[in-house]
Amino acid sequence: MLSLRTSPRLRRMAAQVLVSAMLLGTVGVVAVERPAAADSVDDAKRRVRQMADQLEAAEAEADRLSEELAIATDDKAQLEVSIAQTEADIAVKQTELGGLQTQMSDLAVEAFVGGGRGGSITGLLAPGGGPNESVQKQSLTEIALNVGFATTDELDSAITDLAQLTDQLTKQKNQAEDLAKNIVGLQEKTDKEISKYTKLKAKAEKELGKALSDERARRAAAAAAAARAQAAAFLAARGDGVPNSPSEAAKKVFDPSSIPSTSSRAAIAVAAAKSQVGVPYVKFMAKEGVGFDCSGLTTFAWQQAGVSLPHQSRAQFGQGPQIPTEYIEPGDLVYFHNPISHVGIYIGGGMMVDAPGVGRTVRYAAVTWDKVVGVTRPG
């Protein structure tokens, strides 16, 4: 047997074999590990996407519930104003009739509450067979005329009005009680959803950090590009409002000249909204530099342009005027969800400014056109 010590050639061959074996071994390890590494990367990306989806869904639900709560609270406040007005109207009617009631006989009082002849003053004053009937009729007629009733029919009408007002008040109070219960339930659901979103966001940011931030930024950029393209398509698609093919026959026909033109005040409203970017979301608020909810922001923006809007998204939509989405212009208000529970102010190029929801701030955002349920043009 030859000794390696005495054979340089064999030593070189042995070294080459050893190096080759090591390289092959390394390649083999890499070949085995690459799929695992790729899977790990894919899993990480998938997790980031899933977390971004969950955050978007949680944000949307928290926003929806917050606006529903704001609308219910506003409805209750308006109903309370209506109740106070109805109570005042009842007091006027009672005073109007009170003087007459104190001067009438027991027969008159019975007529007021539905008894007597015919259950009405008209019946009371109708001719009867008693010896004092004509005297009583004359006396009661004079009393009625003295309190401002030209005819007994008007007196009957006032009594009917009082009954209707009383019934209206009962219904309003029942409705207010139902709203109060609904508000309590909505408040609990909203608080729970906000808590869920806050915890999820904190967990996501802690665990995924920059990867999540990058994914959300990527989505925002993609949404902006898509919104911008759709806005351009809307502009190009504007026509004369008359269907020009069978497939368009079912579309709403309108006269473009009926769409109110955009005034210079729209630019003022847009500038006002932009000036509040970064201000925190605060429900029920519309205070410059302090806080806004979604309808509070649009109310504030148009208020700077001299236009008054109700502080409620559905009420703003109802105030109109409503226009076709493809005719949207900067300054118009754009609405989301059915029933409506979010509003933003359009600034052009597929973008809007809105107050998105709890834990966030007034922002620039791409319009998600397929979720738009209406557009109005204040001013």
Tell me, yes or no, whether 231 lies in a domain: no
Q: What is the pLDDT of residues 145-183, one digit of tens each?
A: 454 444 556 667 778 888 899 999 999 999 999 999 999
Give yes or no for a cis peptide into 330 (omega within 30° of 0).
Answer: no
Tell me, yes or no, whether 117 lies in a domain: yes
Tell me, yes or no, whether 335 lies in a domain: yes
Task: Find the helix or strand (DSSP H, E) in which 344 lies.
Answer: strand 342-348
Number of H helices, E strands in the chain: 8, 7
The 3-class SS string of 120-181 reads CHHHHHCCCCCCCHHHHHHHHHHHHHHCCCCCHHHHHHHHHHHHHHHHHHHHHHHHHHHHHH
Q: What is the pLDDT of residues 71-124, one digit of tens each?
A: 888 889 889 999 999 999 998 888 776 654 554 444 444 444 544 444 444 544
- The domain tally of the chain equals 3
Closest C-alpha to 162, from 67, 215, 221, 87: 87
Examine the domain organization and report whether 86 and 37 are in the same domain. Answer: no
The two structure tokens encoding residue 297: 């922001």
According to the model, what pLDDT value does residue 28 have? Answer: 41
Question: 361: which DSSP letter?
Answer: B
The two structure tokens encoding residue 273: 């909204």
Tell me, yes or no, whether 322 lies in a domain: yes
Confidence of residue 338 (pLDDT cuts 50, 70, 90): confident
Domain membership of residue 41 as a residue range? 4-53
According to the model, what pLDDT value does residue 291 have? Answer: 96
Confidence of residue 205 (pLDDT cuts 50, 70, 90): confident
Examine the domain organization and report whether 75 and 29 are in the same domain. Answer: no
Examine the domain organization and report whether 155 and 186 are in the same domain. Answer: yes
**Domain boundary residue among 183, 202, 221?**
202
Which residue has better confidence, 353 or 91? 353
**Domain boundary residue among 53, 77, 92?**
53
Examine the domain organization and report whether 194 and 298 are in the same domain. Answer: no
Answer positive or negative: Cα dihedral of 273, 56, 219, 317.
negative
Examine the domain organization and report whether 292 and 361 are in the same domain. Answer: yes
Examine the domain organization and report whether 45 and 19 are in the same domain. Answer: yes
Examine the domain organization and report whether 76 and 89 are in the same domain. Answer: yes
Residue 32 has pLDDT above 70, yes or no: no
Examine the domain organization and report whether 130 and 32 are in the same domain. Answer: no
Q: What is the pLDDT of residues 254-297, one digit of tens each?
A: 677 788 888 889 999 999 999 999 999 998 899 999 999 999 99
Tell me, yes or no, whether 215 lies in a domain: no
Confidence of residue 29 (pLDDT cuts 50, 70, 90): very low
User: How much of the chain, in percent, has pLDDT values that exceed 90?
Assistant: 40
Tell me, yes or no, whether 85 lies in a domain: yes
According to the model, what pLDDT value does residue 305 have? Answer: 96
- CATH of residue 305's domain is 3.90.1720.10
DSSP code string of 302-316? HHTTT----SSHHHH
Examine the domain organization and report whether 188 and 273 are in the same domain. Answer: no
According to the model, what pLDDT value does residue 43 have? Answer: 82
Residue 124 falls in which region: left (phi positive, over 0), alpha (psi -120 to 50) or beta: alpha
According to the model, what pLDDT value does residue 61 have? Answer: 86
Place of tokens 């620039």: 364
As a whole number of angstroms, the distance between CA 192 and CA 199 comes to 11
Tell me, yes or no, whether 24 lies in a domain: yes
Examine the domain organization and report whether 184 and 63 are in the same domain. Answer: yes
Taken as a whole, the chain contains a residue count of 379
Pairing of strands 333-336, 342-348: antiparallel
As a whole number of angstroms, the distance between CA 332 and CA 326 comes to 12
Q: What 3-state DSSP class applies to 375?
A: strand
**Domain boundary residue among 202, 217, 245?**
202
The two structure tokens encoding residue 112: 């007021």
The two structure tokens encoding residue 34: 């690459």
Tell me, yes or no, whether 357 lies in a domain: yes
Examine the domain organization and report whether 185 and 283 are in the same domain. Answer: no
Examine the domain organization and report whether 281 and 344 are in the same domain. Answer: yes
